[in-house]
Structure 1
Amino acid sequence: MTEADMSQPNEDQLPLGPWDAGALATLEAWDRSWADACRTMSTDPWSGKVLPLRMVELVCVATSVACTTLDGAATRRHMRAALAAGASRDELMTIVKMATVMAIHSCSLGAPILLEEAAAAGAALPSHPATPTPACDAMKRLGQWNQAWDPFFALDPAWTDAFMATGAGIYSAGVFTAKETELLSIAFDVSFRHMYAPGTRRHIHGALAAGASVAEIMEVLKLCVAQGVAASNLGVAILAEELARPAHGG
């Protein structure tokens, strides 16, 4: 064996990353060349060259548990790996909370359109009595208020404040650094299951301002691409089961 050969990692020592071990083994048996190429690409962020393993796994928890994804198997796999890499319960619970409140993008998208169409139709807007909005005020003090929220605040300030009460604590608890919060937020917004451009731009801007490097942000994007492996984890396993049915001759 040459020195060059010895410097290459053994195939069995490569990280699984986003892969289900059983699906990967089946895929390798069917199409080793493509499986090797896809595994090399998708597991690159696990090399530790840019982000620490703990952060890699936390990003994967975020993209798996997001309300736009809800991949139970991947969430469990990456939560387990994150805990093994030193993540805490509070960190993982914070990601679950972030994954929950990202559903506000339904209003970010829909409320401006509602206001425009209501104006075009001459429809009356709902009236609301003046009421304190302490949670919204807190989000503004934290610098977490997004102008995209102004339209639904105008439509229903009391409900908006109730929603923001669920978000203010997430960002004020100090579980993550500002940079980590922004990197995780990028993952939520840029994931191919979501692709929310306004939030992606806002959080990339925030990540750079918080000290993140371009390489670190690119690593988050690569982890979101690695999430595509979920198609193989699901499809290969089902195909193997269907091929094993008697009708297919085993």
Structure 2
Amino acid sequence: MAHSNDPAALKAQFVSKLGEEQWDDSWESIAQLSPELFAASVDLIAVPKKKRRLSPKIQQLMSIAVDAASTHLYAPGVRKHIDAALKEGATPSEIIEVIELTGTLGIHACNIGVPLLVEVMKEEGIYEKHPTAGKPFDAQREKLKADFTKNRGYWHSFWEDFLALDPEFFEAYLNFSSVPWLKDVDGSGKGVGILEPKVKELVYCAFDAAATHLYVPGLKLHMKNVLKYGGTPEEIMEVLEIATQLSLHTSNVAAPILAERLAKA
């Protein structure tokens, strides 16, 4: 398929589909080196923008979650999507709440690591002898389980051994992860954060599904929670489409470097 090589025409195509705020010099390099990739990339990004199962504002919040996740930290994308989110009417409170939600990704070290630790303990014959592992919860642990369920709106079996082995760290994470669920942002005293629960759960889906993370247990859990809060499969699908756009950062980073080297040569 033939593609225009005119830089002005290519930029006009980009802006008409994606908006001026999404343009930067990296796209100019991609258009110069591979107009075919440029056109296909623009079309890929444009699909959820055309369908709008989620509002433009929520779409930008999902992109912030993907780019700001600790497994990716793509600063140019974070800047662009924050700018776009503000343009679409997002408030600073909404954006910082996405950042708070996305900052919980690191707990997957425990979600993955604790079951493996328990497996090793059983293989080494020390699990049954441990004073708290696999034992009924004491009053402190039962309260922490109840608090987590109340604050986060769910409980899952993978928290059981974590809580059994280290209630102090579990409590610290409970407080950390509950911030966006308990903040009183409007002075009402309700303390439920600013984003509706469905959107919070979609944020978790966004960074769990991203290619830099692919945390399957969490993704499945949060998909179920989205549906519980009234979300639709189409909305979840659109989050997956937005997360897929992470792959374009390969060319966003590499094409300008190639263009720079070619210019020097």
Measured against the shorter chain, the TM-score band is: 0.7 to 0.9
Matches of residues 157-172 of structure 1 in structure 2 within 5 Å? Answer: 157-172=167-182
Q: How many angstroms does 1:135 deviate by?
A: 5.1
Deviation of residue 144 (structure 1)? 3.1
Distance 2:262 2:63 in 1: 31
Corresponding position: 1:208 with 2:217: no
**Matched residues in 2 for 1:158 and 1:185: separation?**
24
Structure 1 window deviating more from structure 2 (190-199 vs 131-140): it is 131-140
| Structure 2 residue 101 is the aligned partner of structure 1 residue 98 | yes
Identity %: 26
**CA displacement at 1:63 relative to structure 2:** 0.6
Question: Structure 1 residues 37 and 18 mapped into 2: Cα distance closer, same or farther (>3 Å)?
Answer: farther
Q: 2:165 aligned with 1:155, yes or no? A: yes
Provide the C-alpha distance between the structure 2 equivalents of 1:226 and 1:65, rounded to a whole number of angstroms. 14
1:146-203, Cα deviation, whole Å (9 max, x unpaired)? 3212121111111111111111232232311121112111102111111011111111
1:203 aligned counterpart, secondary structure: helix
1:33 aligned residue: 36
Distance (whole Å) between structure 2 residues aligned to residue 227 and residue 37 of structure 1? 14
- 8 Å CA contact 2:115, 2:161 repeated in 1: yes
User: How far apart in 2 are the matches of 1:75 and 1:135?
Assistant: 34
Change in CA separation of 1:238 and 1:101 when aligned onto 2, cut-off 3 Å? same
2:140 is matched with: 132
1:81, distance to aligned residue in structure 2 (A): 0.9
Whole-Å Cα distance in 2 between the matches of residues 137 and 211 of structure 1? 24
Structure 1 stretches lacking a partner, 5+ long: 1-9
Q: Tell me: CA distance 1:145–1:20, structure 2 relative to 1, closer, same or farther (3 Å).
A: farther
Letter in 2 for 1:151: D
1:45–1:222 contact (8 Å) kept in structure 2 = yes
Which of 9, 13, 22 lines up with 2:16 in the alignment?
13
TM-score, normalised by the number of residues in structure 2: 0.81
- Residue of 208, 216, 223 corresponding to 1:197: 216
Q: TM-score, normalised by structure 1?
A: 0.86
What is the one-letter code of the residue matched to 2:124? A
AA of the residue aligned to 1:132? Q
Distance 1:16 1:105 in 2: 35
- Distance, in Å, in 2 between the alignment partners of 1:239 and 1:215 is 38
Matched residue SS, 2:195: coil
- The structure with higher relative contact order (CA 8 Å, sep 6+) is 1
2:150 is matched with which residue: 105, 116, 141?
Answer: 141
Q: 1:55-74 counterparts in 2 under 5 A?
A: 55-74=58-77
Q: Would the aligned equivalents of 1:131 and 1:158 in 2 still touch at CA under 8 Å?
A: no
Q: Deviations over 1:75-95 (max 9, x none)?
A: 111111111111111111111
Q: Unpaired segments of 5 or more residues in structure 2?
A: 1-11, 183-191
Q: CA deviation at 1:244?
A: 2.1
Question: Partners of 1:240 and 1:18 in 2: how far apart?
Answer: 22
Alignment counterpart, residue 243 of structure 2, candidates 224, 232, 236: 224
Distance in structure 2 (CA, Å) of the matches to 1:191 and 1:59? 11
Task: Please say if 1:117 is aligned against 2:120.
Answer: yes
Q: Answer whether contact 1:18 1:227 (CA < 8 A) is retained.
A: no
Residues 63 and 24 from structure 1, CA distance in 2 versus in 1: closer, same or farther, beyond 3 angstroms? same
The one-letter code of the counterpart of 1:144 is Y
Q: CA RMSD in A?
A: 2.3
What secondary structure does 2:89 align onto? Answer: coil
